[in-house]
Each structure stands twice: as structure tokens, then as C-alpha cells.
Amino acid sequence: MEKNNLFAFATSELSQDAFICWLLNFAHEDHLNENRYLTECARKLLRKMVPEESQHRVNKISRQYNKIDVLLEVNNKYSVIIEDKTFSNTHDDQINRYKNTLIAEGRENIKSVYFKIVEQPFEENADISISRGDLLEIFKEYVDDAQNNILRDYYEYLLEIEKDVNAYKSEEILTWRDCLVHNKTVTICNRKV
């Protein structure tokens, strides 16, 4: 039996947006001292988004601001657009539209981040791309010391996706997931998206 994991049920982009906001909020002044490992983890993730800065502090986090999945204000200088993808694809030149919206508001120093946990057939036109592999690399450094069930569940959820994606390298197709097989052809696999 698999471990009961919140993210096995919270598979939508909105759930992932909430996780992103929750984690990055540990780099906000109000939460810097709650869990030093989560703060370090948040800052390491921010360094991928705004590599020009040496110290990272989140000033404001907005969800669904003008249809932007997550909008961060970092170091009172940068506006960081996070376009979050779970199991969906790019469409409608979203990031450029969001940038233009922020430019029209008079914002400068705009960064765009394409945040994706599964492989996508097309990349979004973003300044920075953060993949499942990037997240696993960052989180593995903090998941034990942080002693936080939310971070652990998300990390283990990403590990399961990684295992599924790479199953073709070492397993027969019928063992990848619980699949329905008709006439020796896999038609539907038990992956809820």
C-alpha cells in the first residue's frame, strides 16, 4: 500500500500554485524565522528565478493576478511571473501576454518562470525554466532537516512522477501502472490528472 500523500489528491495547477506560494512565503519577512530549512529552501528556489541577486526576500505573493498563476515581488525590485504547468501544455503565448500586462502597469525588472513538473512537448517563452528535476535537486537538500510533512509529501509526489516517467527504462509496459489492457494494447492507465 502506498503512503497517504496529499498531492496524490491535489493534482491540479491551483494546488501546485498553493504549494509554490506556501514554500516561497518562507522567504517573506514575516516567516523567515519559522523554519530555517524551509526559508533556505525557498531562497534556493528563488536563486534559480532571480540569479542576479545574492539575498532573496519575497515582499508580496499574488495568486491569479490578472490570470498570472503566481506573481512574486522580490527584493522590492523584481516582478516574477510564475507560469505553472502540471499536466497541461502551453497555449496562447501566456507569458508574453502577462509580461505586457505588467509593462502596461509601469513595472520594470520582470522575470518569467516556466514551472513544470512533467515533460512538455513545447517550451513556453520564459526567462527561466524550472523542471521536476530541478525541484528534486533543491528539495532533497532540505526535506529531512525541515521535518515538514507538506514539503515531504510534495517531494515524494515528484519522486513518484520521476519513477513513472523513467519506468520504460527498466520495466515492461504492463507494469508501469495499473493499466487496462484490450487485445494486448494498453488503452488506459490509472494516472489521475
Q: How far is Cα 88 from Cα 119, in angstroms, rounded to an integer? A: 10
Domain boundaries, the chain: 6-189
pTM of the model: 0.82
More confident residue, 43 or 121: 43
State the pLDDT confidence band at 164, using cuts at 50, 70 and 90. confident
State the pLDDT confidence band at 182, using cuts at 50, 70 and 90. very low
Would you give the distance in Å from CA 191 to the centre of its chain? 19
